[in-house]
Structure 1
Amino acid sequence: MPRHASLRPYQLRSEQLPAVLLCPYPSLRSVFQNVCIPVYRLSTGGIPVYRLRNLDALEANLSKRAKVVSLPRKYVQKIDPYRPAAEQIASSIKLAVLEMSLKPGQIISETEIGNVYGASRTPVREAFTWLRDQGLIVTYPSRGNFVSRLSIPQIKGAQFARESLEVSIAELLCDEGLSGETVHEIEANLASQDEMLKSGNGTAFRTLDDNFHLALADAVGHPRICDIIQKEKAYLDRLRVLSLTSMDHIAELVKDHRNIFDAIQSGDKPAARQHVRLHLRRVLSTLSELFEAHREYFDDY
């Protein structure tokens, strides 16, 4: 029998603190760390003692940190000690950049980000290196790090690469057909898009749009294709956030999805090719208008 087997894993103690937990089992300690604070001065016999966190205070602290770099609270989460900190920070900052919560041209400090996420300099620097490689931030000597501005040449290049790849995907699927599982997934996705249009709430469209295109890419059976599409799409995502403000425009994109799916289902290559090209070129049709409305977000070219 283990030395502490007679102890209850959540045994309450009242010594000096009102709500203290005694945890003899190592396997349970990771659970406690999310909602408790270790109280070392009360620990005895090698058994850690925990005090319940004030969860309202924890939430308020994270919200306060988020305001340091003008981030919505949803982008600032407690770092999971069992996953690489750099990966978590980079993922959160990437999402904030792509969703335009961090604006193009906005300065972003390693020190501030470290304070916001409660992380040391090393993982923050690793996260910034990754974000720099992805083209999401740029570093100017003696000036600092900035969220990268939108680049019209990059946008046009990414759209060309994505169109070339997705046209090939549609043509291949016209020849090989879709599995029953993929058909079911896409039909459910299109039904959700229809419901989104009826509700008039377009905020869910970006996720549905992404999932539609990734379902087609997955159906080809080459994992790297999805990675390539995701990388090229990153150059277009911020432009898409600026353009998806009209439900009429979203309705056109939903109709495009239905046309692409129907053409692939019927094996009609010319129609599939035409609908994919029309769909992916719509973002370029808004480029000049968005450039005029948001010049401060774009690089000079």
Structure 2
Amino acid sequence: MQLTNSKDTQGPPGLTAQSHHSIADLLADKQLTSKDSLVAQVSSLLWDLITKIELRPGQMISEKEVAEALNISKTPIREALIRLEDAGLVRIVPKSGTYVTPINIERYLEACFTRVQLESGAVRQAAKTGSKSAAALEMTDVMAKQKIAFDTKAYADFFILDERLHQLFYEAAGLAGVWKTVKRSQADLDRIRHLKSMHKISRRAQVLEEHQAIVDAIQSAQPDAAEQALTNHIGTLDNEIQVLSRHPGLLLYIEALNSVQPKGKVARKAR
């Protein structure tokens, strides 16, 4: 796929393919709890580090270093890495190691397509059958918290609440399991969404308005309006291609991240 044309030919000042941080440094302040399995927690921690580009494409993830940093055995780490490989975030190379995969634009666009198709159906179903559900009622609380996060520039919280709201769309539709399927396909969507934020390609104020339109339609049991509001929010595949085309600085940055290998072992070329 070829993306062309834009006034934005440079990335933001100071943004380069930065030196990577060690696993020990990145996990130094992370705490495991008894609320979830070790595999799920390790998978979530590494997912966040990779999608926030703290673990960089090509960087090796050492099971030994993760085990030492979290003070656990290698077994749950190995299982967590298998989950991440299934999601496309790492590649496990026998007799070599586990490496963060390159950011893949085509997988990103596929994830965008998957999400709009599944989520438009989910909000439609939520408006039909779940307008009075606990999940639909919780949407009001999440929206209020997200507005506070926006007003106070607590953008990390804004993102977490964004994810929770979209999860509630599926729960209100009685499709909680589908959300898990969607999330497994969203690895590159999450990485590029984070890079967009770094490059000031943001529309948070508009996102709040769009979220409110979706929630209003669900809570007032209007399936057509809910589906249209969701499509307006996520956008079509053509729209997303246009966004990327208008920001080649972002594409150049992704190319730099994918091409600059960290020191130490170098990842073998991904399949």
Fold match by TM threshold 0.5 = yes
Q: Give the TM-score taking structure 2 as reference length.
A: 0.73
Q: Give the TM-score taking structure 1 as reference length.
A: 0.66
Residue 152 of structure 2 aligns with which residue? 199
Q: Secondary structure at the match of 1:139?
A: strand
Alpha-carbon separation, structure 1, partners of 2:28 and 2:231 = 38
Offset of residue 208 of structure 1: 0.8
Alpha-carbon separation, structure 2, partners of 1:255 and 1:156 = 24
One-letter amino acid of the counterpart of residue 278, structure 1: N
One-letter amino acid of the counterpart of residue 296, structure 1: A
One-letter amino acid of the counterpart of residue 287, structure 1: L
Residue among 208, 232, 256 paired with 1:296: 256
Offset of residue 175 of structure 1: 2.5
Alpha-carbon separation, structure 1, partners of 2:83 and 2:186 = 17
Q: Secondary structure at the match of 1:244?
A: helix
Q: Rate the CA distance shift 1:268–1:132 in 2: closer, same or farther, 3 A.
A: same
Q: Secondary structure at the match of 1:74?
A: coil
Q: Rate the CA distance shift 1:69–1:200 in 2: closer, same or farther, 3 A.
A: same
Q: Rate the CA distance shift 1:158–1:187 in 2: closer, same or farther, 3 A.
A: same
One-letter amino acid of the counterpart of residue 100, structure 2: V
Structure 2: 5+ residue stretches without partners: 1-20, 260-269
Q: What's the % identity of the aligned pairs?
A: 27
Offset of residue 240 of structure 1: 1.5
Asked which structure has the greater RCO (Cα within 8 Å, sep 6+), the reply is 2
Q: Does the Cα contact within 8 Å between 2:150 and 2:158 map onto a contact in 1?
A: no
Offset of residue 137 of structure 1: 0.8
Offset of residue 251 of structure 1: 1.1
Larger radius of gyration: 1
Q: Rate the CA distance shift 1:204–1:84 in 2: closer, same or farther, 3 A.
A: closer
Q: Does 1:257 align with 2:214?
A: no
Residue-by-residue CA offset, 1:133-185 (whole Å, 9 max, x unaligned) = 22221134565321112111211111111111111112223333511533431
Q: Does the Cα contact within 8 Å between 1:163 and 1:277 map onto a contact in 2?
A: yes
Residue among 226, 244, 247 paired with 1:287: 244
Residue 111 of structure 1 aligns with which residue? 64
Q: Does 1:89 align with 2:42?
A: yes
Q: Does the Cα contact within 8 Å between 2:217 and 2:223 map onto a contact in 1?
A: yes
Residue-by-residue CA offset, 1:248-267 (whole Å, 9 max, x unaligned) = 61111111101112233344
One-letter amino acid of the counterpart of residue 257, structure 1: H
Q: Rate the CA distance shift 1:279–1:292 in 2: closer, same or farther, 3 A.
A: farther
Residue 10 of structure 1 aligns with which residue? none
Q: Rate the CA distance shift 1:234–1:116 in 2: closer, same or farther, 3 A.
A: same
Q: Secondary structure at the match of 1:105?
A: coil
Q: Does the Cα contact within 8 Å between 2:112 and 2:189 map onto a contact in 1?
A: yes
Offset of residue 129 of structure 1: 2.4
Q: Does the Cα contact within 8 Å between 2:108 and 2:189 map onto a contact in 1?
A: yes
Residue 277 of structure 1 aligns with which residue? 231
Structure 1: 5+ residue stretches without partners: 1-65
Q: Rate the CA distance shift 1:257–1:118 in 2: closer, same or farther, 3 A.
A: same
RMSD: 3.1
Q: Rate the CA distance shift 1:89–1:183 in 2: closer, same or farther, 3 A.
A: closer
Offset of residue 67 of structure 1: 4.8
